[in-house]
């Protein structure tokens, strides 16, 4: 590939992923509002879980929620069925991410969470999936195609799930009245912490 082909391919990938986010906007409905209200009012913690690339996305969403004032953590679904499900309590909300909604490890963890009695919110690309059907709230994050040439790697779907997670976290923090002073308290490190430490709030 020459430079022009490489540049064109990069632009194509970015456009596909950007379009996936834009195309979701008309489908943001009351289920998203309900998820935000439940997360904001949760008396326990927010637990994120997913397998593979979805798991990496879930970790980032947990980190964003925590930094914006909503205690959250990640539980690996495969480890959950070997004892880590003991981290989940009835007062928690568990957010599962799976594009297909049929990931075996995630569904196994879902079964345990239902026995515990914690509320389940799912983010999938398939509203008829097993995960969606076993959730109190299902958030549809469907993509037309993945952004790689093979249309196989979790690229667009991972980006969209991450964007949905950011939107939830940002909206929850707004509802809670989370301030820049609060953010500075939780984020004293790095260049961002340096920038905030001398600010007058």
**Domains, in order of start, for the chain:** 3-197 (3.40.50.10490)
pLDDT band for position 169 (cuts 50, 70, 90): very high
Mean pLDDT calculated for residue range 48-59 = 98
Query: Which is it for the CA torsion 191, 192, 193, 194, positive or negative?
Result: positive
198 pLDDT higher than 80 = no
What percent of the chain is predicted at pLDDT more than 70? 95
pLDDT at residue 178, as a whole number = 87
d(CA 145, CA 149): 10
pLDDT at residue 71, as a whole number = 96
pLDDT digits (tens, 9 = 90+) for 84-103: 999 999 999 999 999 999 99
pLDDT at residue 181, as a whole number = 83
User: Nearest to residue 106, comparing CAs of 149, 48, 188?
Assistant: 48
pLDDT at residue 129, as a whole number = 98
CA distances from 56 to 76, 114, 148, 163 (A): 10, 23, 18, 13
User: Nearest to residue 136, comparing CAs of 31, 24, 62?
Assistant: 31
State the SS3 of 15-74.
HHHHHHHHHHHHHCCHHHHHHHHHHHHCCCCEEEEECCHHHHHHHHHHHHHHHCCCCEEE
pLDDT at residue 182, as a whole number = 76
pLDDT digits (tens, 9 = 90+) for 107-157: 999 999 999 999 999 999 999 999 999 999 999 999 999 999 999 999 999
Q: Which residues contact 177 (CB under 8 A, 6 or more apart)?
A: none
Q: Which residue is associated with the tokens 């690309």?
A: 125
pLDDT at residue 161, as a whole number = 98
pLDDT at residue 124, as a whole number = 98
CA distances from 73 to 46, 51, 76, 85, 91 (A): 7, 15, 10, 12, 14
pLDDT at residue 191, as a whole number = 74
Instruction: Count other C-beta atoms under 10 Å from residue 157's C-beta.
Output: 27
């Amino acid at each position: 590939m020459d430079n022009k082909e490489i540049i064109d391919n990069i632009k194509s990938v970015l456009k596909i992923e950007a379009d996936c986010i834009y195309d979701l906007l008309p489908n943001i409905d009351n289920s998203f509002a309900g998820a935000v209200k439940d997360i904001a009012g949760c008396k326990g913690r927010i637990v994120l879980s997913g397998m593979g690339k979805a798991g990496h996305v879930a970790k980032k969403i947990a980190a964003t929620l925590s930094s914006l004032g909503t205690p959250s953590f990640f539980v690996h679904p495969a480890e959950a069925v070997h004892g880590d499900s003991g981290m989940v309590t009835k007062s928690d909300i568990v957010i599962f991410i799976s594009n297909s909604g049929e990931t075996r490890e995630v569904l196994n963890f879902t079964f345990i969470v239902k026995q515990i009695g914690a509320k389940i919110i799912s983010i999938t690309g398939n509203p008829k999936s097993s995960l969606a059907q076993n959730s109190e709230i299902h958030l549809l994050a469907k993509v037309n195609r993945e952004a790689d040439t093979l249309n196989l790697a979790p690229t667009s779907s991972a980006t969209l799930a991450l964007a949905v997670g950011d939107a939830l976290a940002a909206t929850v923090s707004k509802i809670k009245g989370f301030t820049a002073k609060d953010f500075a308290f939780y984020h004293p490190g790095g260049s961002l912490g340096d920038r905030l430490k001398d600010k007058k709030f």
